[in-house]
């Protein structure tokens, strides 16, 4: 029996690994799939609730690393994950995405001379001030199997000198999860709970330091919210980091004065997906949401200077906007009531990426 360990640490990782866990069931006589949760995101709604919504088994190991600086998190994951590897003796380790847990587990894996697979390889923003960009680059350099979601990923890896035989264009496991969860959306009562109707609101997510770690930037977004709320309601599930900064910067009172601004705690996957699907517009600085809105055909404004997912801008519904007030307002004005959002679904975003990955890993281990 071969042992494959998947490492998850943050909310987006769960959507990428859950369908792979299901795909490995086709090889259950020969592969044991073991899930390690590092605890990088330890808030209930940011982790355990997602396991339930994605029908994902409880982790075999929970490392409980918690919050801390990038260096602290990386060091804690490396130390704890090394102990897991020494106990389990895996035949291959899978790391998804680009969070600190991804890079830390990848380095530990290769230091132990174990095969490493990277889900969502090759994505590049070109901005090395983003911690995620460093995590992506380091992980890809040392990986043995690199699973690519879009054509830019393949092109980036080839340009960086990664041998083509290591690269596999398989599609997007995030979309696998979205398609799987779509069958459960009728279970969500979030629209009724928040007293919303279809296309009557704008959905907001903000968590990147460049957008929420300064009082000036966060205040700017609340000014933008005031404009939006004169036309639509706003639903803003607030990331713990953003919630803390709203209070620290004295913005709680301003938020409370806007009657059309609905602040919620982080939501489970099914509720959030339902909100996304039925919104008139999504404004975000997240990576995965750019992909999900593209698949769903929902207009998306990404308030960043760069994106590592250019396919969502090229053929999808995503518009990249520099995080400045006038630029964002101009784009909102263009998008908020635009009912026609021509887009295409990227190649191999068909709900079968995880099956392709499981088959490649099965053959690799043989």
Residues annotated as part of the active site: 207
Distance, in Å, from the CA atom of 316 to the CA atom of 79, rounded to the nearest integer, reads 41
Which residues of the chain form beta strands (DSSP E)?
2-8, 31-37, 61-62, 92-96, 116-121, 145-148, 167-169, 201-205, 233-237, 261-264, 281-284, 300-302, 318-320
CA atoms within 13 A on the CB side of 308: 30
Tokens for 253? 């009172």
Q: What is the arrangement of strands in the sheet containing 281-284, beginning at the earlier edge strand?
A: 261-264, 233-237, 201-205, 281-284, 300-302, 318-320
Q: How far is CA 8 from CA 40, 115, 298, 323, 355, in A?
A: 9, 17, 28, 30, 19
* CB distance 142 to 111 below 8 Å: no
Q: Which residues pair with 167 in a beta bridge?
A: 146
The closest of 68, 81, 130, 135 to 109, measured between CA atoms, is: 81
Distance, in Å, from the CA atom of 183 to the CA atom of 169, rounded to the nearest integer, reads 26
- Which residue is listed with tokens 């207009």? 299
283-310 burial, b at 16+ Cβ within 10 Å, e below that, comes to bbbbbbbbbbbbbbebbbbbbbeebbbb
- Which residue is listed with tokens 């957008």? 211
The burial of 121, by beta-carbon neighbours within 10 Å (0-12 exposed, 13-18 middle, 19 or more buried), is given as: buried
């Amino acid at each position: 029996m071969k042992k494959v360990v998947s490492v998850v640490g943050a909310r987006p990782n769960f959507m990428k690994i859950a369908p792979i866990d299901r795909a490995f069931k086709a090889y259950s006589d020969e592969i044991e799939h073991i899930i390690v949760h590092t605890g990088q995101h330890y808030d209930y709604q940011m982790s355990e609730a997602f396991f339930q919504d994605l029908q994902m088994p409880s982790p075999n190991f929970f490392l409980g690393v918690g919050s801390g600086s990038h260096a602290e998190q990386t060091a804690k994951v490396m130390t704890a994950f090394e102990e897991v590897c020494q106990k389990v003796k895996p035949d291959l380790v899978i790391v998804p995405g680009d969070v600190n847990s991804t890079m830390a587990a990848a380095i530990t894996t290769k230091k132990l001379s174990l095969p490493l697979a990277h889900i969502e390889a090759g994505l590049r923003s070109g901005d090395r001030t983003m911690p995620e960009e460093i995590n992506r680059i380091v992980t890809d350099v040392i990986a043995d199997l690199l699973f690519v979601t879009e054509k830019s990923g393949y092109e980036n890896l080839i340009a960086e000198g990664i041998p083509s035989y290591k690269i596999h264009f398989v599609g997007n496991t995030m979309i696998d999860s979205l398609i799987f969860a779509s069958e459960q959306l009728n279970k969500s009562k979030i629209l009724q709970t928040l007293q919303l109707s279809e296309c009557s609101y704008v959905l907001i997510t903000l968590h990147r330091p460049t957008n929420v770690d300064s009082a000036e930037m966060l205040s700017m977004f609340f000014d933008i919210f005031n404009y939006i709320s004169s036309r639509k309601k706003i639903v803003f599930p607030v990331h713990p980091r953003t919630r803390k900064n709203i209070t620290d910067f004295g913005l709680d009172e301003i938020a409370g004065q806007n009657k059309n601004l609905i602040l919620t705690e982080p939501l489970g996957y099914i509720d959030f997906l339902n909100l996304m699907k039925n919104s008139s517009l999504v404004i975000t600085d997240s990576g995965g949401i750019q992909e999900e809105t593209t698949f769903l055909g929902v207009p998306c404004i990404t308030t960043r200077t760069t994106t590592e997912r250019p396919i969502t801008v090229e053929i999808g519904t995503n518009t990249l906007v520099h995080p400045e007030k006038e630029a964002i307002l101009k784009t909102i004005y263009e998008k908020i009531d635009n009912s026609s959002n021509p887009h295409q679904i990227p190649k191999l975003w068909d709900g079968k990426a995880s099956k392709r990955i499981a088959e490649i890993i099965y053959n690799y281990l043989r």
